[in-house]
Amino acid sequence: MSKFITSTILVPGSAGPAGINTIKALRMAGFDGKIVATDSSSLSAGFFMADVNEVIPEADEHTFIEKLFNIVRFHKVGILMPSSGFDIYPYSENQKELAELGAIAIVSDRDKLEICRDKMLTFQTLSQKFALPFTTADSTGIRAFPVLAKPRFGKGSKGIVRIDDESDLKYILSKRDDLVFQEYLPGTEYTVDVLSDLESKPLMAVPRIRMQTKAGISTKGKILRDFTLEEECMQIAEHIGIRGPCCMQMKESNDGELKLIEVNPRMGGGTIFTTLAGANFPAMLIDLIEGREVSIPSISEITVVRYFEEFVLTHGEEKIHVGANLLSKTGFRA
């Protein structure tokens, strides 16, 4: 049995799809403990799905860690499931201190996160063993057009520009100097959710075709089984040393070869697709922490279409309107 009190789980970044989907997955699994949602805004959607809510500073503010530790102590948090691409870094850097408070942060070590964050380091670490698009920080090394210009330390699809010729290249170089240049891949894009155990041993991978995306988040997707792709992505996760969940972006080249374009060392905004297909990563992580044997579930090849859900706050009352259901809410600590 784990020394951690797993009856209270903290889900950071509850304004984002990954945080919201983590809460949904815990509910779907029948988790009967307390879910604490944190975010920098009191109007984060995940606040109205959790049992308790805490506003916390942005991850790069100097008061963030002090506030986090206070929340962990006050609520006796046993598990932290970071899902934001911003706050995984302080959680990783403070794993030891959190463990001393009785809380385990399910996140990879800081040096592993850096491999995923830095696109040049990703290429240098993985390209000798796995298929990646050619990537360079030196614009004179561009072999052919079109190419994609990306922020070296970017997140999601923000700041990505297609460069079609020398004129485009000259223009973008006059505007920014933090870019890498990557082979353009025109084919089908895939996301692969991978779950590794707490010793960085990969357990399973679930691929899906990204049929539609908005702001870098999948809004339509189709789960499929591709054992070669699954095995390759598990090998990538093991090579990096990922602990817990991650999601990888793969895309087809002109000749149909799938190449790795990004590794996000956390649950993704579309990981709920994998949950709906039969693999509930948050529930499996609880089993791992509590020392239970984790059985690998069978996966259904399904297509998922997403839509918005509304929360209507009734002023002056501790009630919210969720779709067609009126729910009582307690524990709101904005």
**Do 152 and 217 fall into the same domain?**
no
Characterise 189 by phi-psi region: left (phi > 0), alpha (psi -120 to 50), beta (else): beta
Indicate whether 334 pLDDT > 50. Answer: no
Cα gap 16→148, rounded to integer Å? 26
pLDDT of the residue at 300: 97
| Token pair of 6 as six digits | 């797993």
Residue 18 lies in a domain: yes
**Do 327 and 221 fall into the same domain?**
no
Q: Work out the pLDDT band at 322, boundaries 50, 70, 90.
A: low
Instruction: Taking residues 53-76, report their average pLDDT.
Output: 96
**Do 72 and 145 fall into the same domain?**
no
Q: Are strands 79-80 and 147-151 parallel, antiparallel or unpaired?
A: unpaired
**Do 321 and 253 fall into the same domain?**
no
pLDDT of the residue at 1: 40
Cα gap 56→39, rounded to integer Å? 6
Domain boundary among 150, 165, 183: 183
The pLDDT tens digits of the residues spanning 241-286 come to 999 999 999 999 999 999 999 999 999 999 999 999 999 999 999 9
Q: Percentage of the chain with pLDDT > 90?
A: 82
Residue 2 lies in a domain: no
**Do 194 and 265 fall into the same domain?**
yes
pLDDT of the residue at 83: 86
Cα gap 295→284, rounded to integer Å? 9
Residue 229 lies in a domain: yes
**Do 223 and 329 fall into the same domain?**
no
Cis? peptide before 146, omega within 30° of 0:
yes
pLDDT of the residue at 321: 54
From residue 43, give the alpha-carbon distance in Å to each of 34, 206, 311: 20, 32, 10
pLDDT of the residue at 326: 42
Residue 102 lies in a domain: yes
Cα gap 24→273, rounded to integer Å? 11
Burial 252-264, CB ≥16 within 10 A → b, else e: eeeeeebbbbbbb
pLDDT of the residue at 329: 45
pLDDT of the residue at 318: 54
pLDDT of the residue at 327: 45
Indicate whether 308 pLDDT > 80. Answer: yes
**Do 220 and 179 fall into the same domain?**
no
The pLDDT tens digits of the residues spanning 76-110 come to 999 999 888 888 999 999 999 999 999 999 999 99
Cα gap 110→94, rounded to integer Å? 10
**Nearest in space to 109 (alpha carbons), one of 192, 204, 199, 45:** 199
Residue 12 lies in a domain: yes
Mean pLDDT, the chain, as a whole number?
Answer: 91
Find residue 151's DSSP bridge partners.
Answer: 179
Under 8 Å between Cβ of 35 and 52? yes
Instruction: Taking residues 208-232, report their average pLDDT.
Output: 90
The more confidently predicted of residues 332 and 150 is 150
Residue 1 lies in a domain: no
pTM reported for the whole predicted model: 0.91
pLDDT of the residue at 121: 97
Q: Work out the pLDDT band at 330, boundaries 50, 70, 90.
A: very low
Q: Work out the pLDDT band at 221, boundaries 50, 70, 90.
A: very high
pLDDT of the residue at 333: 44
Instruction: Taking residues 124-147, report their average pLDDT.
Output: 95
Cα gap 42→19, rounded to integer Å? 15
Residue 88 lies in a domain: yes
**Cα 121 to the chain's mean position, in Å?**
19
Number of domains in the chain: 3
Give the domain CATH number at 260: 3.30.470.20
Under 8 Å between Cβ of 95 and 107? yes
Residue 155 lies in a domain: yes
Instruction: Taking residues 31-38, report their average pLDDT.
Output: 96
| Token pair of 292 as six digits | 């239970």
**Do 61 and 154 fall into the same domain?**
no
- Does an H or E element contain 37, and which? strand 34-39
Cα gap 101→294, rounded to integer Å? 26
Cα gap 127→139, rounded to integer Å? 19
88 lies in which domain range? 8-107+308-333
Under 8 Å between Cβ of 237 and 260? no
The pLDDT tens digits of the residues spanning 283-299 come to 999 999 999 999 999 99
Q: Work out the pLDDT band at 324, boundaries 50, 70, 90.
A: very low
pLDDT of the residue at 192: 98
Give the domain CATH number at 329: 3.40.50.20
